[in-house]
Chain A
Amino acid sequence: MKELEKLLDRIIQRNNINLRELEYDVNPFVKDLVRFNQMVKFYAFYGITPNHPLDFVFRHSSLAGSYFLGKIRTRNSILYKSDIRGDELKHQGDVFNYQKFEIPITRDEGIDIEDSFLIKTLVHNFSHDPETLEKFFIKDTVSTHYANIHGSPMDGCFLGPFATVDLTTMNDCVIGTFSYIQAGEVGHLNVDPGTVWVRSPDVFNFLYRHPLDKLNHYINFIAGRLPQGFLMDFVEDRKEAFQRVFNAVNIEASVPVPDSASLDRFAVIKPKTRIGENVLVAQRAFLQNAWLGKGANAQENCYIINSRLEGLNVTAHGAKIIEADLGKNIFVGFNSFLRGRVDSRLTIGQESIVMPHTIIDVKMPLTIPPGHLVWGLITNQQQLEANSVSLKDFSKINDGLIKGNMAFEGNGAAFVTAFQERIHHILEANGAFFDGKKNIGHAQKNQNLSFNTIQPYPDGELQGLYPAIVIQP
Chain B
Amino acid sequence: MSDFRVKELMVPLSEYATVPKGSTLFEAVLALEKAQEEFDHTKYKHRGVLILDKKKRVIGKLGQLDVLRALEPKEKNPGELSQFSQFGFSSNFVHKIHKQRRMKAAPLKDLCSKASKLKVEDFMQTPSEGEFIDQEASLEMAIMQLVTGHHISLLVTREKEIIGILRMTDAFAAVFHTMKECEI
A50-58, A199-207, A443-451: which lies at the interface: A199-207
How far does the alpha carbon of A407 sit from the alpha carbon of B90 in the complex, in Å?
A: 12
Residue of B77, B88, B89, B96 touching A183 (CB-CB under 8 A): B88
Contact of A205 among B80, B83, B88, B97 (CB under 8 A): B88
B90 surroundings in chain A (CB, below 8 A) = 409
Q: Known contacts A209-B77, A209-B80: does B86 contact A189 (CB below 8 Å)?
A: yes
Any A CB within 8 A of the CB of B176: no
- Of all chain B residues, the one with the shortest Cβ separation from A409 is B93
A205 to B97, CA, bound (A): 14
**What is the minimal beta-carbon distance from B140 to any residue of chain A, in angstroms?**
35
> Smallest Cβ distance from A72 to chain B, in angstroms?
33
Name which of A189, A192, A207, A409 has the most chain B CB atoms within 10 A of its CB.
A409
Whether A400 contacts B96 by the Cβ 8 Å rule is yes
B89, A409: Cβ atoms closer than 8 Å: yes
Task: Tell which of B80, B87, B97 touches A197, judged by Cβ atoms closer than 8 Å.
Answer: B87
Given A402-B97, A402-B100: A207 and B87 within 8 A (CB)? yes
A201-B77 Cα distance, complex, nearest whole Å: 25
* Bound CA–CA A409/B96 (angstroms): 11
Number of B interface residues, CB 8 Å? 13
Select from chain B the residue with minimum beta-carbon distance to A188: B86
A407 near B88: Cβ-Cβ < 8 Å: no
Of residues 16 through 60 on chain B, the ones whose CB sits less than 8 Å from some CB of chain A are none
How many angstroms between the C-alpha atoms of A192 and B84 in the bound complex?
Answer: 12
- Indicate whether A205 sits within 8 Å of B89 (C-beta atoms), given known contacts A400-B96, A402-B97, A407-B97: yes
Q: Report whether A402 and B89 are in contact in the complex, using a CB–CB cutoff of 8 Å.
A: no
Q: How far is the CA of A402 from the CA of B80 in the complex (A)?
A: 14
B89 CB contact (under 8 Å) in A207, A209, A212: A207
* B80-108 Cβ-contact flags toward A at 8 Å (1 or 0): 10011011111001001100100000000
Q: What residue of chain A has the Cβ atom nearest to residue B79's Cβ? A: A192
Contact status A400-B93, CB under 8 Å: yes
Residues of B within 8 A of A197 (CB): 87
Q: A402 to B96, Cβ gap below 8 A? A: yes
Shortest Cβ distance from residue B89 to the other chain A in the assembled complex, whole angstroms: 5
CB-based contact B96/A207 at 8 Å: no
Q: How close is A473's CB to chain B, nearest CB, in angstroms?
A: 45
- For A203-224 the 0/1 string (1 means CB < 8 A from B) is 0010101001000000000000
13 A–B contact pairs at CB < 8 A? Answer: A183-B88, A189-B86, A192-B77, A201-B88, A205-B88, A207-B84, A209-B77, A400-B93, A400-B96, A402-B100, A407-B84, A407-B89, A407-B97
Q: Which B residues fall within an 8 A CB radius of A?
A: 77, 80, 83-84, 86-90, 93, 96-97, 100
A-B pairs with the 7 shortest C-beta distances?
A409-B93, A207-B87, A409-B89, A199-B88, A400-B93, A205-B88, A197-B87
